[in-house]
Amino acid sequence: MSDEKNESIPEGINDLPDPESFGAPSGAPKRKKRRKIEEPAAMSMNSLLDILTIILVFLLKSYSTDPVTLKAAEDLKPPFSSAQIKAEQSTTVTLTLNNLLVDDKPVIRIEQGVVGEGDTSSNGFLVDPLFQALQESVDHQKRVASFNSSAEFTGIITVISDRHVPFKLLSQVMYTAGQAQFSKFKFMVVKGGQG
């Protein structure tokens, strides 16, 4: 009966369809089942940030406690000592075998720990460029003290010296500083004496 009435209905329409006809033709890329593009799993940054923040806070804290910091240089190695007194903020003179600096500004170059003849006067004890630089620093401090009554001129000078500096240079520096009205000397050393 179905054959005579419906000629347009093809034969085999009730057959099970061929599964391969549904898929894309072979050779084409297969579509993924899920339409959404999968994101790569985001790494959880919480613990890493915790560690880095703590390290940062620690470094910030240890960076600011020392008023006098030692520049790590090859030719500036203060000797070890068992001294325990803490350093304070004051004018500094740095002595190495090649340089003299006042408050981290170079003043004069020297040869192997010996100041050149032309730079000394007064029996070879006063070092002129150093004297001028120290006097400027003193004048500056006294000017500040005249405005600010809590910052008086203390006359303290911190000597940061390399361990190889000869005594003659040291006494020249101390004499010059004395002439520039510094009366209290503090020698900077590194903790860790042999006892």
Query: Which amino acid, 11?
Result: E
Does 37 sit near another protein (CB under 8 A)? no
Q: Which stretch binds another protein (CB under 8 A): 7-15, 64-72, 98-106, 138-146?
A: 64-72
Tell which one of 32, 72, 117, 150 touches another protein (CB under 8 A).
72
On whether the CB atoms of residues 176 and 127 are closer than 8 A, the answer is: yes
Does 42 sit near another protein (CB under 8 A)? yes
- 186: its two tokens: 């503090």
Q: How many residues line the site for another protein (CB under 8 A)?
A: 59
Does 195 sit near another protein (CB under 8 A)? yes
Does 52 sit near another protein (CB under 8 A)? yes
Beta carbons within 8 Å of 67's beta carbon, 6+ residues apart:
87, 88, 89
- In 3D, which of 151, 152, 155 has the Cα closest to residue 184? 155
Does 140 sit near another protein (CB under 8 A)? no
**Separation in Å, CA 166 to CA 11, 73, 80, 84, 195:** 115, 18, 16, 24, 23
Q: Output 21 or 84, the one with its CB closest to another protein.
A: 84
Does 162 sit near another protein (CB under 8 A)? yes
Q: Which stretch binds another protein (CB under 8 A): 26-34, 41-49, 128-136, 137-145?
A: 41-49
- 176: its two tokens: 């010059």
Query: Which amino acid, 36?
Result: K
- 18: its two tokens: 């061929």
On whether the CB atoms of residues 68 and 89 are closer than 8 A, the answer is: yes
Tell which one of 6, 53, 121, 146 touches another protein (CB under 8 A).
53
Enumerate binding residues for another protein (CB under 8 A): 42, 45, 49, 52-53, 55-56, 59-60, 62-63, 66, 68-70, 72, 79-88, 125, 155, 158, 161-168, 170-171, 174-175, 177-179, 181-195
